[in-house]
Amino acid sequence: MGAYLLGRLAGLVPVLIGLSLIVFLIMALIPGDPALAILGPYATPDSLARVRAELGLDRSLPVQYAAWLGHVLAGDLGRSHSLNRPVLDEVGERFAATLVLAGAALVLAALIGLLVGIVAAVRQGGTADRLATLAVLVGISMPSFWLGLLLILLVSVRWRLLPVSGMYAITGGEDLSDLLAHLVLPAVTLAVVAAGVIARLTRSAMLEVLRQDFVRTARAKGVPERRIIVAHALKAALVTVIPVIGIQAGFVLGGAVYVETVFQWPGIGRMLVNAIATRDVLLVQGGVLVVATAYVLFNLAADLLQRLLDPRIGA
C-alpha cells in the first residue's frame, strides 16, 4: 500500500504542473487588458505601462508563467487588486465555505444514490425500479441553477420554511442550527445530479454482482437476503462505484459556481464569478488552481479507498 501511495503521489506532480499551465494560459488568452480593468476608463498610457510592469504583463508568457509558478510553489498566490488582500487568504476563507457546501452535497448524493441504486437493483423490473429510473433521468437532466431557483420559489418564498440565501442570517448568531438551515437548499440542489449518476452506476454494479456465483452460493447456504445484499453484493459493487463518487466530487466543486451564485453562498464559486467580472487575474488563477488541486486529491482519495476494498487493484 505504501509503494502504491508513493507512486500515485509521484504521478500527481506532472498533473498539477499541467493544471497550473492550463489555468495560466486560459487567463492569459482571455481578451482584455487586466491593467485597463484595474485602472478604469480614465487610465493614462503612463499608468497603464506602470501597472503592466508591476503585474509582469510586459514580459513574455513563458517568463510570466515561470515567475507565477515560482511564487505558487513558495506559497504566494499574489495579491488581489479588486479586494486589496493576499489571494491565498481570500481563497482559503472562500474555499472553506465551499468545502462545507460541497461536502454536504457529496455525502447527500452518495447516500441517496447508493440507496436508490440498491433498491432499483433488488427490485429489478418492478415499480420501485421504474420509479427510481425515472427519478434518475429527471435528476441528471435538470440544470442545477434552475432547480435552485425553483426550490427558492417553493420552499423559501411560498412556504417560508428555509432561508433564501447566504450562509448565516444577517442578524443571527452564526451557530450550527443557522448554518444547517441555510445549507439545506444549496446542498440538495448541488446533490441532485451527482445522486442520479451514482444511483445509475450503483444499480448496474449491483445487478452484475447479484448474478455472480458467490451470491447464488450464499443464497443456497441459507444466508439471509439482507446480509447478502449489504455484506456481499454491496461491498463488491462499491469497488466500481467509489471511483465514480470521486469523479462526482469534482463535478460538485465545479457546480458550486452556479449554486453559490444562485444562493449567494460566500464560497469560492461566487468569488470566481466576481473575480472574472473585475478581471482580477491572480484571484481567478489562484481560485481555479485550488479547486483543480482539490479535484485531483479527491480522486486520489477515492482510488486509495478502492484499493483498500480490493487490494488486487494496482498490484
Identify the CATH homologous superfamily for domain 87-309.
Answer: MetI-like (1.10.3720.10)
| Average pLDDT for the chain | 89
Per-residue DSSP letters for 124-180? TTSHHHHHHHHHHHHHHHS-HHHHHHHHIIIIIIIS--S-SSSSS-TTS---HHHHH
Each residue's pLDDT tens digit, 4-47: 777 777 888 888 888 889 888 888 887 777 888 788 777 888 98
Q: Distance between CA 115 and CA 110 in Å, rounded?
A: 8
Q: Distance between CA 308 and CA 59 in Å, rounded?
A: 48
Please report which helix (H) or strand (E) contains residue 86, including its range. strand 85-86
pLDDT over 90, % of the chain? 45
Per-residue pLDDT at 35:
83
What's the farthest any 2 CA atoms get from each other in the chain?
Answer: 85
Which residues are paired to 86 by β-bridges?
79
Per-residue pLDDT at 172:
65
Q: Distance between CA 61 and CA 12 in Å, rounded?
A: 24
Residue boundaries of the structural domains of the chain:
2-85, 87-309
For the cut 60, the answer to whether the pLDDT of residue 131 exceeds it is yes
Count of beta carbons in the 10 Å neighbourhood of residue 5? 14
Per-residue pLDDT at 251:
86
What is this structure's pTM? 0.89
Average pLDDT over residues 159-180: 86
Per-residue pLDDT at 154:
95
pLDDT over 70, % of the chain? 97
Per-residue pLDDT at 201:
95
Each residue's pLDDT tens digit, 37-57: 788 777 888 988 898 888 888
Indicate the angle between helix axes 281-309 and 235-263, nearest 10 degrees.
160
Per-residue pLDDT at 1:
59
Virtual torsion, Cα 71, 77, 78, 81, nearest 10 deg:
160
Per-residue pLDDT at 163:
92
> 27-33 contacts: CB < 8 A, separation 24 or more?
27/281, 27/284, 27/285, 28/61, 28/64, 32/279
Count of beta carbons in the 10 Å neighbourhood of residue 64? 16
- Could you report how far apart the first and last alpha carbons of the chain are, in Å? 9
Average pLDDT over residues 233-262: 89
Q: Distance between CA 278 and CA 41 in Å, rounded?
A: 13
Average pLDDT over residues 135-151: 91
Q: How confident is the model at residue 314 (pLDDT cuts 50, 70, 90)?
A: low
Per-residue pLDDT at 173:
64
Q: How confident is the model at residue 174 (pLDDT cuts 50, 70, 90)?
A: confident
Q: How confident is the model at residue 66 (pLDDT cuts 50, 70, 90)?
A: very high
Per-residue DSSP letters for 219-262? HHTT--HHHIIIIIIIHHHHHHHHHHHHHHHHHHHHHHHHHHHH
Burial (CB < 10 A; 0-12, 13-18, 19+), residue 250, is middle
For the cut 70, the answer to whether the pLDDT of residue 315 exceeds it is no
Name the residue with cell 450503483: 202
Average pLDDT over residues 236-265: 89
